[in-house]
Structure 1
């Protein structure tokens, strides 16, 4: 009888130990699933546009990278009503009064200047034209998979570049910059 009681107790302890191990294994699997499904935060760079060439053009720009696309939203005030060009330039240096310290258009693939997406070619900085309303306000939205933020790819990485807003419209044909006129605002794309 003592042997039977001992066997029953031993069997009960084995069952409890197995259930405990099974619970621990399930908990570990749940933790692994939670860790694997971490949310990736989009990369974001926000900058302020500074007036250049004795203009009153200011505003802000936000670049956001998510799922392989970079979107840009620029909100500007102080513009002359009508069409203006906006481009990414080679440098984030906005120190000169005329904005020329930002260099020429960002053109890492050495293609001719043109309208974004044109078969004849375009610079990676050739964003294009936008229209300011009668109060001098404008918003520009643009999105592409041809840019990245801080990825290190010289043909895609916009960090260290500058955004220039021009007094006039881009004609998409004049080389190397589209004859868009004076640089009326500048912002460096820096973290």
Structure 2
């Protein structure tokens, strides 16, 4: 009888051990599912392209134009280049906008700020901001701004909701106050260009 009880106890212990991995696997699957639902499924975390360019053309009767290069960096995209035709020493907002259409004379065809996460407008280095929000640029004494700004959140390529390829870059007449909704009280759109791969 003692032998039978011992055999039964051993069988139960082995059964419990055998079921432990499936419980752990279930917990890992649950944790994995929870992790995948914590980040929006339609947002990409990495760019599929290594670079893009923007040729900015004048809008709203301005003489502002320039060329920018974009590259993936850190948590988003870094924009560098040169924009001319600005008033000497002036400060201007620069944003990525939602539609790659610069056909309207005032660039209104580019729509609002690129905002795939539906956040409020704000400064790029704060928790709440649009994907297209960037720091202001400043023109030198010759009216030329050396652009070196970052957009947090967008990627290049892949077609996800936060893919910036095919969106527009807009330079505004005034600085962004980083507070006024939805666009920082940045004034008229004085230049517009479409983000193109390569």
Given the two structures, how large is their TM-score scaled by the length of structure 2?
0.70
Residue of 174, 178, 183 corresponding to 1:172:
178
Corresponding residue for residue 188 of structure 1: 194
Tell me the distance in 2 between the aligned counterparts of 1:69 and 1:110.
16
Question: How has the CA–CA distance of structure 1 residues 136 and 68 changed in structure 2, closer, same or farther, with 3 Å as cutoff?
Answer: same
Among 111, 132, 156, which residue is 1:149 paired with?
156
Taking the TM superposition and a 5 Å limit, the aligned residue runs for 1:120-131 are 121-131=128-138
Contact 1:89 1:104 in 2 (8 A): yes
Deviation at 1:152, TM superposition (A): 2.3
Where structure 2 has 5 or more consecutive residues not aligned to the other structure, the ranges are: 1-47
Determine the C-alpha separation between the residues in 2 that align with 1:71 and 1:85.
16
Question: CA separation in 1, counterparts of 2:191 and 2:124?
Answer: 21
Question: Do structure 1's residue 64 and structure 2's residue 99 form an aligned pair?
Answer: no
Q: Taking structure 1 as reference, are residues 137 and 95 closer, same or farther at Cα in structure 2, changes over 3 Å only?
A: same
Alpha-carbon shift at residue 42 of structure 1 (Å): 6.2
Confirm or deny: 8 A CA contact 1:92 1:190 kept in the other structure: no
The answer to whether the Cα contact below 8 Å between 1:91 and 1:101 also exists between their aligned partners in 2 is yes
Which residue number corresponds to residue 48 of structure 1? 55
| Superposition TM-score, scaled by structure 1 size | 0.72
Q: Is the 8 A contact 2:172 2:191 kept in 1?
A: yes
Aligned-residue offset at 1:139:
1.2
Match runs of 1:109-128 below 5 Å:
109-119=117-127, 121-128=128-135
| Cα distance change, pair 118–67 in 1 and its aligned pair in 2 (3 A) | closer
Structure with greater Cα Rg: 1
**Aligned to 2:109, what secondary structure does the other structure show?**
helix
Q: Structure 2 CA distance, aligned partners of 1:184 and 1:79?
A: 9
Contact 1:113 1:174 in 2 (8 A): yes
Shift of the alpha carbon at 1:160?
1.6
| Closer, same or farther: CA 111–74 of 1 in aligned 2, 3 Å | same
- CA drift of 1:128 comes to 2.1
Aligned to 2:114: 106
1:115–1:145 distance in 2 versus 1, CA, 3 Å = closer
- Kindly tell me the number of residue pairs found equivalent between the two proteins: 149
Q: SS of 1:174's equivalent?
A: coil
Partners of 1:150 and 1:102 in 2: CA distance: 19
1:34 corresponds in structure 2 to none
Secondary structure of the 2:57 match is strand
